[in-house]
Structure 1
Amino acid sequence: MRRRPERPARRARMKLAGGALLAGAVLLGAGTLPALSGSASAVETAVAGEFRRGPAPTAEALSAQEGPFEYATVTVPDQRTFDGGTIYYPTDTSQGTFGAVAVSPGFTARQNSIAWYGRTLASHGFVVFTIDVENTWLNWPDSRGSQLLDALDFLTERSSVRDRIDPERLAVAGHSMGGGGALRASFLRPELRAAVPLTPWHTWKSWSNTTVPTLIVGAENDTTAGVAQHSERFYASHGADERAYLELNDAVHATPARFDPTIARYTVAWLKRYVDNDTRYEQFLCPAPRPSETIQEYRAANCAA
């Protein structure tokens, strides 16, 4: 369904789980009170130190193309350091601010190849900026990493939705060279909450000085960024205590360029767990998922199989 800029998509209203509601302000983060609009019935019970947004998760909901939140879009024109893009944001203002994610496309690709991340992640309670890279599609990963950080700065400082974003809860993601860019961005800005490189490509193989919680997604039949030369080496060398490697069964390099329920499930769970510190999503990440029709392999640091 096409989303019209600045107008909410027509979607079912969010269903709150369990009916456990707080009257008045709800403590959503350690020492943080959300700015609420409307009645307290729009807010789910939260746990101190967590930023819970939306109903209790299920595997089925995480694997769907869209989650419980209505969302709208804003088109961003060319900027000085990147070529604009599209912001997808939840329209709900009753639950406080949201975490934000900047996403880069891959080699020769435009933002339409990563648009599904905008739709899926925004519908799960994130502000998402899918960008076009500066000047040419052929920018290398390090340049894409810098542009991802510039996009996050635009979101939090100059965008029309900046009041919806918690600037302390930011993440990056990207496909192919954009995935390499996500690795680079998380190295440059260690205060990021999470990174999700998707079939990433980069000439640098050791990320031992990177500490941002990172989910690396590889594809079993990737002939462009083969997992033995890229994703597996990135994971093995990564310095974060919270890191995981998901290898998609019978998938190819371009698999992340279209909606994939397995990618959706683990990307949403990872961002919820580390951007929102929402422990309800821990169950989808640990114990480590076993091989299946869609998962060739899953490795996780500090998590038993």
Structure 2
Amino acid sequence: MHTLPPTGHRIRRSLGAALASFAVVAGIGFGPAPGAHAADNPYERGPAPTNASIEAVRGHYAVSQSTVSSLSVTGFGGGTIYYPTTTADGTFGAVAISPGYTGTQSSIAWLGPRLASQGFVVFTIDTLTTVDQPDSRGRQLLAALDHLTRVSPLRTRVDSTRLGVMGHSMGGGGSLEAAKSRPSLRAAVPLTPWNLDKTWPELRTPTLIVGADGDSIAPVSSHSEPFYESLPSALDRAYLELNGASHFAPNSSNTTIAKYSVSWLKRFIDDDTRYEQFLCPLPRPSLTIEEYRGNCPHTS
């Protein structure tokens, strides 16, 4: 997979990284400190973002992947972990993603390398059965995160304090359930979510809900919009309604979904305020955005 060289190969902007670069030139034997280019925020990963960089099919990091067999896990159905290949930047935040009703991880697989190349460890999961309901999918997302941070051979690449969840359809409803159950999650991004529970005043996790104006399976009027409106008004929250899109928009590569998912995850999992510019002021309606609501500036 071809991407730009990893951050460890680039010149850092901070003093710590400058010293590391000097040491290499001078032959002094120490390497770059993890995240040394981000002295003000140790969780920043990658170069300063641009509109082009967050819309790109691949971001700054080269990506590797690892298959997780269902036979080796409990509480969910296995999946695939996508992660930045480099170890030069220290640990990364992580996000688990659930498919929707009757779906498998293949239906949301495009998000794995797309998000990982921006500086996350991404776990696209299979569920125990393809007909699991949102509450079950929520528990499975949390089980996947626990596996990733406690058992997986890749656990040393993950910062277990910086985790998020995403999901499509019933998986999106499941991401709301996961955030309700585990308030320590740093971000949730339900994609055309479906859930019989319409109110979420308990949530304490910054949440971006993505609906679609042409959704006939989980119409925004009875799902995404009431979900968003029920979130606490003081919570960092946003509602993005895709223009000219169906319930299945999240099942294939979608620049608008990726752009705002990356920005939301970076802003709240990594506390990376460099991405605030893409969320505030609120994006305007466009050829791909029917509507965008939210609170600005963000408080977290």
TM-score normalized by structure 1? 0.88
Q: Are residues 1:48 and 2:40 paired?
A: yes
Contact 2:36 2:42 in 1 (8 A): no
Q: Distance in 1 between matches of 2:3 and 2:94?
A: 21
- How far off is 1:21 after superposition? 3.8
Task: Tell me the number of residue pairs that the alignment of Structure 1 and Structure 2 aligns.
Answer: 285
Q: Distance in 2 between matches of 1:130 and 1:232?
A: 26
Contact 1:219 1:250 in 2 (8 A): yes
CA distance 1:129–1:110, shift in 2 (3 Å): same
1:185-226 Cα offsets, whole Å, 9 max, x none, are 000000000000000000000000111000000001000000
Residue in 1 that maps onto 2:56: 64
Q: Are residues 1:182 and 2:195 paired?
A: no
Q: Which amino acid aligns with 1:233?
A: P
CA distance 1:181–1:298, shift in 2 (3 Å): same
Q: Distance in 2 between matches of 1:50 and 1:238?
A: 30
Task: State the SS of the aligned residue for 2:109.
Answer: helix
Q: Are residues 1:270 and 2:264 paired?
A: yes
TM-score normalized by structure 2? 0.90
1:66-115 Cα offsets, whole Å, 9 max, x none, are 10101111100112211100000111111111000000000101101111
CA distance 1:259–1:147, shift in 2 (3 Å): same
1:112-158 Cα offsets, whole Å, 9 max, x none, are 11111111111011000000001x20000000000000000000000
Which region of structure 1 is more displaced relative to structure 2, 158-167 or 294-303? 294-303
CA distance 1:220–1:18, shift in 2 (3 Å): farther
Which region of structure 1 is more displaced relative to structure 2, 168-177 or 87-96? 87-96
Q: Provide the aligned C-alpha RMSD in A.
A: 2.1
1:153-176 Cα offsets, whole Å, 9 max, x none, are 000000010001000000000000
Q: Distance in 2 between matches of 1:13 and 1:50?
A: 20
- How far off is 1:23 after superposition? 3.1
The structure richer in helix per residue is 2
Q: Distance in 1 between matches of 2:35 and 2:203?
A: 35
Residue in 1 that maps onto 2:226: 233
CA distance 1:156–1:25, shift in 2 (3 Å): farther
1:224-249 Cα offsets, whole Å, 9 max, x none, are 00000000000000126100000001
Could you tell me the percent identity over the aligned residues?
A: 53
CA distance 1:44–1:63, shift in 2 (3 Å): farther
Contiguous gaps of at least 5 residues in structure 2: 20-28
Please list, as runs of the form range in 1=range in 2, the aligned pairs for 1:123-134 lying within 5 A after superposition. 123-134=117-128
Q: Distance in 2 between matches of 1:223 and 1:289?
A: 25
Residue in 2 that maps onto 1:3: none
Which region of structure 1 is more displaced relative to structure 2, 74-83 or 221-230? 74-83
Q: 1:295 aligns with which of 289, 292, 297?
A: 289
- How far off is 1:47 after superposition? 4.0
- How far off is 1:46 after superposition? 1.1
Q: Distance in 1 between matches of 2:132 and 2:258?
A: 26
Residue in 2 that maps onto 1:29: none
Contact 1:50 1:279 in 2 (8 A): no
